[in-house]
Amino acid sequence: MQTLQSHAAFAPKSHTQQPIVTGTSVLGLVYKDGIMLAADNLASYGSLARFRDVERLISVGNYTIVGASGDISDFQYLKHTLDSVVTKEYSLDDGHELSPSNVYEYLSRLMYNRRSKMDPLWNSLAIGGFRDGEKFLGFVDLQGTTYKSSTVATGFGAYLATPILRKAVE
């Protein structure tokens, strides 16, 4: 008798062609005393505002926050992957903890790897954190494109909020 897992090994591999349940903008900025990330809790099913309690900001370790716009199921995959990385790092018990820049670099390589395999994770990510007096804010998208800035915005907010945030920070 075949199990579901062995049956899945013979099934054709499918890739996400387009996101179904999505979240929109995440905004981030660096200010005098730290960083701030903001996102709403709405996830849309197509054009229907369906889920009103979806957390799109997660903590990674003790120093980092990751916010995502795009496909919610792909973000859940990222959350489980990051939880595994943090658990593995903790179990090494070597006194090292992941910094915001470590998480940023890991996510940039993960997103680029998935893009190169023609199976991208349909997310844009804002990564922010504060460690040892150093503020960090960066952006990673589904192609693995990255940048660090004093302001970041994902989704439609990148078009609307970025100029306003940049003017306010400068």
Average pLDDT of the chain?
90
- Per-residue pLDDT tens digits for 65-87: 999 999 999 999 999 999 999 99
| pTM passes above 0.85 | yes
State residue 54's pLDDT score.
92
Taking the C-alpha atoms of residue 105 and residue 100, their distance in angstroms, rounded to an integer, is 9
So what's the pLDDT on residue 142?
94
Q: Are 157 and 42 in contact (CB under 8 A)?
A: no
Which pLDDT tens digit goes with each residue over 101-137?
999 999 999 999 999 999 999 999 999 999 999 999 9
Which CA distances in Å does 58 have to 24, 46, 68, 114, 150? 15, 24, 9, 21, 20
**Catalytic site positions:** 16
What's the DSSP call for residue 20?
A: S
Q: Say whether pLDDT at 3 is over 70.
A: no
Write out 67-111 in H/E/C secondary structure: EEEEEHHHHHHHHHHHHHHHHHHHHHCCCCCCCHHHHHHHHHHHH
Residue in this structure with the two tokens 């494109």, named with its chain if needed:
145
